[in-house]
């Protein structure tokens, strides 16, 4: 009976169904929270976990370039020019290459607690061979992509790629020039010569007490130095080598332009201390990536115009469709990929669909996100409501003769975070477009739902008119 209740627009039946929705949502949150506890082997509490959680990942990236910065999500700067293209604007996708500096590459000197410095050349590849891979069975010469550890490392880059407008590509070549920060002319990647973001490693500060695991230069340096003396940490294969992968993904975050944040009531990847209670970028991290490089749908020509609208579907009676279904999650699991946003006040997201017969469409747009405390490292934290970062708008449009726009309807506000267009009659043989835009110059995750029903025949209408009454009477009887 739920679908019939959904068609009713007033009365108790709807409010009962709405309450059911809330209960279902709560159940989902509980389930995610339970998984979170299982994964960390700890109760459902934040900031708990194995002793390694005391290990500082780094001091927040190295050698910040002077730059405007974007006042949200601790974004320092972003990649403009890369090995693959010229400068792009905030919110635009980028292609970045990554690769390995050969062992023996000169790295920066590392100050030690006793006042001395160490200046070891890179030994990352032999470190990965011996501590992460299977030295007994791996071919320890030749192409690095054949090593058993290669997919573990690659997975860190691929995860950022599938969550945002960033496209990471492996660059197999490296000319071995010293890794020296974000001012040298060799910081730039060059196709066929070296990657935009090079991986290296050597002794930084050992592995006892609170110590550094790795560091990474902000754009446009982007290179990483891993502490290869942290052998017990990195050789731990728990959860598909999550320690190594979370450090890589955290450092990549600096390499994408993100500084540390701290949150005393949520867990985010860009916090300064390592946690293995979650896997990869969390909501604040995803928001930062979208703000800087757009969501995944901005790639390959994007969705800012009718011509490149994302095809939602060709709908028949009873069809429903949704996008952005993971945005409301409490903990981002590695299996989740469905995050979409408006990344500023110029981003436009278009979706195209058709109907196969005269139909009624319901479109609802929900700003998704939760509230958590956040602030700069060692700074004051305050609550951030990520469902209210920008007020989003929707419109249902139609192209007439490929030029003009016929706007059928704009969204009506149903709650502070929801806009909807309901019961609009559409015809077959036309392309319809849903347009999503943002009012504020900020990033906002959203979920968009479409539901299509055939225009009821007169006889069907009569039956539907009675349905809510039948539903109510049954409920009273129960």
Measured from the CB atom, the residue of 152 and 252 that comes closer to Zn ion is 252
Q: CB neighbours of 18 closer than 8 A, spacing ≥ 6?
A: none
Burial of 373 (0-12, 13-18, 19+ CB in 10 A): middle
The C-alpha R_g of the chain, in whole angstroms, comes to 25
Three-state DSSP state, 435: strand
The distance of closest approach from Cβ of residue 316 to Zn ion in the complex, given in angstroms and rounded to an integer, is 23
The sign of the dihedral angle between the CA atoms of 179, 180, 186, 190 is positive
The distance of closest approach from Cβ of residue 140 to Zn ion in the complex, given in angstroms and rounded to an integer, is 31
Measured from the CB atom, the residue of 58 and 171 that comes closer to Zn ion is 58
Q: Are 99 and 170 in contact (CB under 8 A)?
A: yes
User: CA-to-CA distance for 133 and 9, rounded, in angstroms?
Assistant: 60
User: CA-to-CA distance for 371 and 382, rounded, in angstroms?
Assistant: 10
What DSSP letter does each residue of 158-198 carry, written as one string?
HHHHHHSSEEEEE-----------SSSGGGS-BTTTB-SEE
Stretch that binds Zn ion, among 150-158, 177-185, 435-443, 464-472 (CB under 5 A): 464-472
Between the two ends of the chain, the Cα-to-Cα distance in Å is: 14
The distance of closest approach from Cβ of residue 120 to Ca ion in the complex, given in angstroms and rounded to an integer, is 13
Three-state DSSP state, 327: coil
Q: Mark out the alpha helices in 294-452 (DSSP H runs).
A: none
Which option in Zn ion, Ca ion, none does residue 471 bind, with CB closer than 5 to 8 A by kind?
A: Zn ion
Which option in Zn ion, Ca ion, none does residue 230 bind, with CB closer than 5 to 8 A by kind?
A: Ca ion
The distance of closest approach from Cβ of residue 180 to Ca ion in the complex, given in angstroms and rounded to an integer, is 10
Residues 58-87 interacting with Zn ion (rule: CB under 5 A): 58
Task: Write out the two tokens for 288.
Answer: 């930062």
Residue span 221-260 as binding mask against Ca ion, x where in contact by CB under 5 A, dash where not: -xx---x--x------------------------------
User: Judged by CB under 5 A, does residue 205 bind Ca ion?
Assistant: yes
The distance of closest approach from Cβ of residue 85 to Ca ion in the complex, given in angstroms and rounded to an integer, is 15
Residue span 290-319 as binding mask against Ca ion, x where in contact by CB under 5 A, dash where not: -----x-------xx---------------
User: CA-to-CA distance for 424 and 354, rounded, in angstroms?
Assistant: 13
Which option in Zn ion, Ca ion, none does residue 381 bind, with CB closer than 5 to 8 A by kind?
A: none
The distance of closest approach from Cβ of residue 473 to Zn ion in the complex, given in angstroms and rounded to an integer, is 11
The distance of closest approach from Cβ of residue 314 to Zn ion in the complex, given in angstroms and rounded to an integer, is 29
Q: Are 87 and 160 in contact (CB under 8 A)?
A: no
Task: Write out the two tokens for 150.
Answer: 């290669």
- Return the residue of 187, 243, 250, 259 that touches Ca ion, per CB under 5 A: 187
Q: Is 5 left (phi over 0), alpha (psi -120 to 50) or beta?
A: alpha
Three-state DSSP state, 34: helix
User: Judged by CB under 5 A, does residue 271 bind Zn ion?
Assistant: no
Q: Are 274 and 152 in contact (CB under 8 A)?
A: no
- Site size toward Zn ion, by CB under 5 A: 5
The distance of closest approach from Cβ of residue 16 to Zn ion in the complex, given in angstroms and rounded to an integer, is 7
Stretch that binds Zn ion, among 43-51, 54-62, 340-348, 386-394 (CB under 5 A): 54-62
User: Judged by CB under 5 A, does residue 271 bind Ca ion?
Assistant: no
- Return the residue of 130, 161, 211, 373 that touches Ca ion, per CB under 5 A: 211
Residues that bind Zn ion (CB under 5 A): 1, 5, 57-58, 471
Residues that bind Ca ion (CB under 5 A): 187, 205, 211-212, 222-223, 227, 230, 295, 303-304, 347, 349
């Amino acid at each position: 009976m739920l679908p019939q209740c959904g068609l009713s627009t007033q009365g108790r039946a709807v409010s009962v169904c709405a309450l059911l929705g809330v209960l279902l949502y709560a159940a989902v949150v509980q389930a995610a929270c339970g998984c979170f506890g299982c994964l960390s082997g700890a109760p459902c509490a934040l900031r708990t976990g194995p002793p390694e959680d005391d290990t500082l990942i780094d001091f927040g990236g190295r050698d910040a370039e002077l730059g405007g910065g974007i006042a949200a999500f601790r974004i320092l700067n972003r990649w403009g020019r890369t090995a693959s293209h010229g400068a792009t604007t905030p919110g635009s996708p980028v292609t970045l290459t990554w690769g390995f500096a050969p062992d023996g590459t000169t790295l920066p000197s590392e100050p030690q607690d006793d006042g001395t410095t160490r200046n070891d050349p890179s030994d990352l590849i032999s470190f990965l061979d011996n501590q992460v891979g299977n030295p007994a069975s791996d071919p320890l010469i030749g192409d690095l992509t054949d090593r058993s550890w290669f997919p573990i490392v690659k997975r860190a880059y691929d995860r950022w790629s599938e969550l945002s407008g960033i496209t990471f590509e492996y660059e197999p070549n490296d000319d071995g020039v010293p890794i020296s920060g974000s001012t040298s002319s060799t910081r730039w990647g060059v196709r066929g010569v070296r990657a935009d973001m090079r991986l290296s490693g050597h002794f930084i500060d050992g592995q006892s007490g609170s110590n550094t695991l790795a560091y990474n230069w902000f754009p446009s340096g982007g290179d990483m130095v891993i502490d290869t003396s942290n052998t017990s940490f990195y050789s731990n294969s728990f959860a598909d080598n999550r320690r190594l992968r979370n450090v890589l993904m955290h450092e990549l975050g600096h390499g994408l332009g993100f500084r540390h944040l701290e949150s005393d009531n949520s867990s985010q990847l860009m916090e300064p201390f390592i946690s293995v209670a979650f896997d990869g970028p969390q909501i604040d991290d995803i928001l930062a990536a979208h703000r800087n490089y757009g969501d995944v749908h901005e790639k390959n020509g994007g969705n800012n115009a009718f011509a490149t609208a994302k095809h939602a579907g060709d709908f028949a009676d009873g069809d429903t469709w949704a996008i952005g279904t993971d945005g409301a999650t409490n903990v981002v699991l590695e299996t989740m990929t469905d995050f979409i946003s408006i990344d500023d006040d110029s981003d436009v997201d278009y979706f195209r669909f058709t109907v196969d017969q005269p139909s009624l469409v319901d479109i609802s747009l929900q700003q998704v996100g939760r509230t958590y405390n956040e602030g700069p490292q060692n700074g004051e934290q305050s609550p951030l409501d990520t469902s209210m970062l920008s007020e989003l708008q929707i419109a249902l449009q139609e192209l007439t003769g490929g030029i003009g726009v016929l706007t059928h309807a704009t969204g009506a506000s149903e709650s502070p975070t929801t806009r909807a267009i309901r019961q609009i009659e559409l015809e077959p043989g036309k392309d319809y477009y849903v347009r999503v835009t943002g009012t504020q110059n900020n990033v906002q995750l959203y979920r968009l739902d479409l539901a299509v029903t055939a225009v009821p025949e007169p006889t069907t209408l009569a039956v539907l008119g009675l349905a809510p009454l039948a539903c109510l009477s049954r409920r009273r009887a129960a």
